[in-house]
Amino acid sequence: MPTIFHVDMDAFFVSVEELFDPSLKGKAVVVGGRATERGVVSAASYEARKFGVHSALPLRTAALRCPHAIFLDGHPERYREYSHKVHAVLQEFSPKVEMASVDEAYLDLSGTARLFGSPLSAAHALHARMKAVTGLNCSVGISSSKLVSKVCSDQAKPNGVLWIQPGLEAEFLAPLEVRKLPGVGKVMEQRLREIGIKRVGDLAGLEEDFLRRRFGVWGLALAGKARGMDAGSWFDGEIGAHEDPKSISHEHTFDQDTADVSVLETTLTRLTEKVARRLREHGFHARTVHLKLRYSDFTTFTRAHTLDHASQLDHELIIAIRELFQHNWRRGAPIRLLGAGVTGFEESEGQLDLLNAERNERAHKALAAVDKIRDRFGEKMVSLASGLKGDTREKVHENPVGLPGKEPKPKT
């Protein structure tokens, strides 16, 4: 039987902010933005949670429920930095570590009894070490599978440890509400409720075939989980296997909805540049570009276009995204959100004819220079001409890659 740990940092963003400003300790703290902003709560301190504030809650609602809370903008760089520290601590306990997000990880501690003793004493050592190195609390779930360990760490919060011994998984899960299972959200919970299923144990009695027909592959996995079977389910991939990203995207919600073409096109260009930049950092070329549009009434559309060759170049992606935008925006309708993304990654752009290959090489060189300048002077210093406010679209054709040395120039 494998021994799988799920380590989950307690109120991670809030706890990191407390390290930088200890006066926040014990207070109602909300990370995510100002109380008057469009946006949602990223993390809430346990004190704020007492007032019904939780992640994904609109900030304005949080402010109504907990007017005395301290609202903070997030610091993604800090969270990344501390995520690395957490990762380093976990690696002291096992080489098989998989960060599932910035603030949680799976560890394979199978066969480490001689090193760390029982799973419980290993967990306590991990706890102490985590606190000593990072100053942060975490909760630890232990079982023979990733899914059960994840449920365990949640039950152990805050700052606790829970170990479910092999063979007792189904018994542990049975009394829990189905919503506690990762993958069961609002919708699935409601659909299950409609057929009288509230707790995980209720699932165990159902025919697998029925669950499959009604709930697809999910139903099948769920039935297995409810009976305590873990092996081979979608959830239990190998721990520590490195996976490349499958999509890259950026999106922006405006402070106020806008139908201003120059604002919209500027934003779309900026978003696409960020996407292209990350594509180059990964060494990927993307075949498909995606546009996301959200109108004032929150109706949301996505439109995709597959290119004839994979690309990582600003201007090629921008032209494609812009075209999607021009064909799909209901002209004049105010927009709440714009997004740009790419999928279908390849290692190279594929075969190009001689002329295109030459053009391509020039573009790559120019962009490498642009990337360097952006590193030194910041993202906004160099941009496609049309990425600058007030500029017209025609400039794209004059200066497709924003060559450094020509307009626009970086200012120091």
Q: Which residues bind DNA (CB under 7 A)?
A: 38-40, 42, 55-56, 58, 60-61, 64, 100-104, 150, 181-189, 216-218, 234, 245-253, 278, 287-288, 297-298, 300-306, 336-337, 339, 341, 344
Cα(343)–Cα(88) distance, rounded to whole angstroms? 31
- Residue ranges of alpha helices (H) inside 174-253 are 186-194, 200-204, 208-226
Is 104 tagged catalytic? yes
Minimum CB separation of residue 79 from DNA in Å reads 10
State in angstroms the smallest separation of the CB of 115 from DNA: 29
**Burial class for 327, CB neighbours closer than 10 Å (0-12, 13-18, 19+):** exposed
User: Which C-beta is closer to DNA: that of 331 or that of 411?
Assistant: 331
CB 385 within 8 A of CB 318: no
3-state SS of the chain: helix, strand, coil percent to 5?
A: 45, 20, 35
Query: Which CB atom, from 69 or from 366, has the smaller least distance to DNA?
Result: 69
CB of 149 to DNA, least distance (A): 12
**Residue among 137, 142, 151 at smallest CA distance from 112:** 142
Task: Return the structure tokens found at 285.
Answer: 């070329």
Q: 158: burial class by Cβ within 10 Å (0-12, 13-18, 19+)?
A: exposed
User: Which CB atom, from 121 or from 296, has the smaller least distance to DNA?
Assistant: 296
Tell me the H-state helices in 135-260. 146-156, 169-173, 186-194, 200-204, 208-226
Which residue lies nearer to DNA by CB, 302 or 356? 302
CB of 251 to DNA, least distance (A): 4
CB of 406 to DNA, least distance (A): 29
CB 228 within 8 A of CB 95: no
Q: Pick the closer one to DNA by CB: 116 or 143.
A: 143
Choose, from 104, 169, 273, 349, the residue flagged as catalytic.
104
Structure token digits, residue 233: 């389910």
Residues counted in the chain: 412
Residues that are catalytic: 104
